[in-house]
Chain A
Amino acid sequence: MTSRLRDAIDRRAIADGVPLFLPAIPFGFVLGLAIVEGEMPLAIGWLSSPIIFAGAAQLAVVTLAGTASIWAVVVAGLVINTRHVMYSAAMAPAFQRQPRWMRWVGPYFLIDQVFALAVLQTDRPPAEFRRYYLSVGIFFALNWQWAVALGMVVGPVVPEGWRLDYAPAVMFLCLVVLGVQRRPQAVAAVVGGVVGLAAAGLQDRLGILVGAVAGVAAGAYAEHRNESRTPAQVAS
């Protein structure tokens, strides 16, 4: 059984996953702390890891729960995860060659890091791709659980003066900066941040949604301008 399991694991996938998982450990740690500091019952806060399995959305949900209406929390979590529709679209051709069970199971593991690694492997034969994808996906899914649990255990021991309650805000800002690859995304982030700040006084953390909608609209407009300008620049 053990040797069969060993054969089923793609070691290269694990080797590829380790460097991407290391930066996720402090993220899981901050999330664990946020669960302890937040108003959700601890067990349910931790269950967000296996059930939602998306760090930024989990952080938003456990931080906002109890301070905003249920629907505001759900919408915030979902809006953060809408980028996964793009991942799904990008991976769809590779999954067309997979058995039906894999098309249903695979999407559960489609987090940022798994997408980043697996999208480079889509030219492999279907069985090899499946082995790689599931190896790296299960690697991240299992390790994520203990990273969050560790944060929950160590969190209460950390003195209040360390201001770890402020860490989620800093981490979200870092995620924004690291996630911006192109100018329209920078426009979306700046407009989202500025409008979100201007609307921060709104009840129920509605300012997040107002800022997000403004940012997405500005980003889409910037994308449109970018695309319509590019041919002229090429011609000149």
Chain B
Amino acid sequence: MNPWSALAIVLMVGAMTYGMRAVVIVALADRVIPQPVERALRSVGPAVLAALAVNLAAGGEGGGVDITVAEVAALLVAGGVAWWRRHMLVALLAGMVTLWVLSAIT
């Protein structure tokens, strides 16, 4: 990848991330965020991360869905353990161990 394109991406995302963290603190401290906007903001994190997870898992680069049974099982186990234990590391390990075991068997 062209280093300048990579640097441009990092700088743009960095500057805009700072902007989003600073916008209300620096500029709009006395104003109230409209209710519909606040409602939508609350859903942004889960919606984007879920779409990102399935896209990365299914190899969504325009070549159609490409996912193995072991990969699907890894996601389901990791999700279940995250829900049950509320612990990132334990859930990640459970998902990866599932992937290793099922990949070795199948």
Contact = CB atoms under 8 A, between A and B. Distances in A.
- A and B interact physically: yes
Interface of A: 23, 26-27, 30, 39-41, 44-45, 47-48, 51-54, 56-57, 60-61, 63, 65-68, 70, 73-74, 76-89, 91-93, 95-96, 103-104, 106-108, 110, 161-164, 166-180, 182, 184-193, 195-197, 199-205, 207-216, 218-220, 222-224
Q: Which one of A76, A166, A180 has the highest number of Cβ atoms from chain B below 10 Å of its Cβ?
A: A166
Contact of A176 (B20, B25, B28, B53): B53
Interface in B43-67: 43-65
Given A106-B25, A163-B103, A205 B55 contact: yes
B99 A169 contact: no
Given A65-B9, A208-B51, A95 B46 contact: no
Contact of A86 (B41, B74, B103): B41
A236 B31 CA distance: 35
Contacts of A188: 43-44, 46-47, 50
Contact of A51 (B10, B33, B55): B10
Contacts of A192: 46-51
Contacts of B13: 48, 52, 57, 61, 73-74, 77-78, 81
A209 B14 CA distance: 19
Contacts of A76: 48, 52
Q: How large, as a class, is the contact surface on chain B?
A: 35 or more
A68 B23 CA distance: 28
B92 A180 contact: no
Contacts of A88: 20-25
Contacts of B43: 184-185, 187-188, 215-216, 218-220, 222-223
A215 B46 contact: yes
A66 B52 contact: no
- Which one of A178, A191, A213 has the highest number of Cβ atoms from chain B below 10 Å of its Cβ? A178
Contact of A196 (B51, B91, B92): B51
Contact of A163 (B23, B45, B64, B100): B100
Contacts of B25: 88, 91-92, 95, 103, 106-107
21 contacts: A41-B1, A57-B13, A61-B13, A82-B44, A82-B45, A84-B20, A104-B22, A107-B18, A108-B21, A163-B96, A163-B100, A166-B99, A172-B49, A172-B53, A173-B78, A191-B47, A197-B54, A200-B54, A201-B63, A215-B43, A223-B39
Interface in B84-98: 86-89, 91-92, 95-96
A177 B100 contact: no
Which of B6, B29, B78 gathers the greatest number of chain A CB atoms within 10 Å? B6
Nearest to B61: A67
Nearest to B45: A83
A19 B41 CA distance: 27
B40 interface: yes
A26 B92 CA distance: 9
A167 B56 CA distance: 10
Contacts of A108: 18, 21
